[in-house]
């Protein structure tokens, strides 16, 4: 089975000169792409309440993200990222307290687990990669995604993928360094697209979701409804 990655990322609100700044820093535009994301959960949002995010991306298949043990505190997130379907099914069964024998396909377990589409939207993405000046040539580049969702929300993220918890602090140093070069303030955060979608189109579910989390534990960059969401 393929090894799960730990996704270390920091979200921010991009400005009109973000792409120009990436070019100045030596960044390379890999591609521009448009895709649809559909998120699945129970009617009670049992997965999201447990900080588990099940997504089907058009052309890419299924992905499940859930929090790893935070190694470093700060305005970033550390999520385990599963893309192999049997591993996704096993984790879904664990968090939902279900036992479905012999099921290796996510589509097969949606019904038995009571999962349904709760959010779906189209994103236009500019995907960049960049190796920081002075870094080892063999070092994997940082990725910067600049997204605009079809409901009008724009968000950027600086991301590194690592295999081990021990690699998180070094990855975070690089993410914070690049974020600073892009003009992102030290403690700036930005909500994930799915959170903004819920806030705009399912406000009651959004409120219920926030009730589960303390201010320091809110998922994927969420903030209290009356505070600035950038």
Known binding residues for Mg(2+) are 7, 9, 145, 157, 159
Contact, 182 vs 19, CB < 8 A?
no
Identify each DSSP E strand in 136-217 by its residue range: 142-149, 154-162
- CB within 8 Å of 64: residues ≥ 6 apart: 52, 53, 54, 55, 81, 82, 88, 91, 92
Distances (CA, A) of 83 to 3, 143, 164: 9, 18, 17
Binding-site sequence positions:
7, 9, 11, 55, 57, 65, 125, 145, 157, 159, 193
Binding-site sequence positions for substrate:
11, 55, 57, 65, 125, 157, 193
- Terminal-to-terminal C-alpha distance of the chain: 39
Triad 20, 6, 223: Cα angle to 5° = 65
DSSP states of 161-173 as a string? Answer: EESSGGGHHHHHH
Distances (CA, A) of 10 to 126, 144, 191: 16, 10, 10
């Amino acid at each position: 089975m393929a090894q799960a990655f730990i996704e270390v990322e920091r979200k921010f609100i991009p400005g009109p000169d973000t792409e120009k700044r990436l070019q100045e820093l030596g960044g390379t535009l890999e591609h521009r792409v448009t895709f649809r994301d559909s998120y699945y959960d129970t009617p009670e949002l049992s997965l999201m309440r447990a900080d588990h995010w099940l997504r089907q991306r058009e052309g890419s298949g299924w992905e499940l993200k859930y929090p790893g043990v935070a190694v470093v505190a700060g305005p970033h997130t550390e999520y385990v990222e599963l893309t192999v379907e049997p591993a996704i099914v096993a984790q879904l069964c664990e968090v939902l307290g279900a036992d479905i024998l012999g099921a290796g396909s996510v589509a097969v377990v949606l019904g038995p687990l009571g999962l349904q589409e709760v959010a779906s939207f189209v994103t236009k993405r500019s995907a960049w990669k960049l190796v920081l000046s002075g870094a080892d040539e063999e070092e994997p580049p940082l990725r910067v995604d600049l997204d605009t969702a079809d409901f009008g929300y724009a968000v950027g993220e600086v991301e590194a993928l690592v295999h081990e918890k021990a690699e998180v602090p070094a990855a975070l140093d690089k993410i914070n360094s690049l974020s600073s070069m892009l003009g992102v303030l030290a403690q700036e955060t930005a909500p994930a697209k799915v959170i903004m979608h819920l806030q705009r189109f399912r406000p009651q579910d959004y409120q219920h979701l926030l009730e589960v989390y303390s201010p320091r534990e809110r998922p994927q960059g969420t903030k209290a409804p009356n505070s600035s969401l950038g």
